[in-house]
Amino acid sequence: MIRLRTIAITATVLACLSSAGDGAQAQSAAAAAAADPEFQSLFQRMYTDSQDMETTFRFLEVATRLGDYEAAIGALERVLYYNPDLAEVKVELARP
C-alpha cells in the first residue's frame, strides 16, 4: 500500500514541479505553507517521529497542495533515507 501511495504522490509532486513558475512563486508558496497550521503540525510530527511514513506522506500531500515543492522534495528524500529500496521514488526524483 505504501508503495502505490508513494508512486501516486510522487507523480503528483513531479507534475506540479514541471509546471512550477519562477523563484518568486516558490517563495510565496513557501510562505503560504509556513502559515498553514496543518503544514506546521505535520512538519513537527514528521520530525518528532522520523520513521512515521504515514505522517511523512501526509506532509508531502499538504506541501504539494500548497505549492511548496522544495518541502515536498525534502519529504521524498526523507522517505528514501528510511526506505532506500523504493526505486520509484528514486526515479521520480531523478527526472528533470
Predicted pLDDT at 8: 56
pLDDT at 57 (0 to 100): 86
| Nearest Cα to Cα of residue 90 among 1, 30, 3, 21 | 3
The parent domain of residue 32 ranges over: 2-94
Burial of 66 from C-beta contacts in 10 A (0-12 / 13-18 / 19+): buried
**Does residue 55 contact residue 42 with C-beta atoms inside 8 Å?**
yes
Instruction: Please say if the pLDDT value at position 96 is more than 70.
Output: no
Amino acid at the residue 69: Y
Q: What is the pTM of this model?
A: 0.67
Neighbouring CB atoms inside 10 A of 56's CB total 25
Domain count, the chain: 1
Angle (nearest 5°) at CA 30 between 27 and 35: 130
Whole-number pLDDT of residue 7: 55
Query: What's residue 50's pLDDT?
Result: 81
| Residues 12, 4 contacting (CB under 8 angstroms) | no
pLDDT at 55: 92
Per-residue pLDDT of 1-54, as tens digits, reads 555 565 556 555 555 555 555 555 556 777 777 788 999 999 999 989 988 888
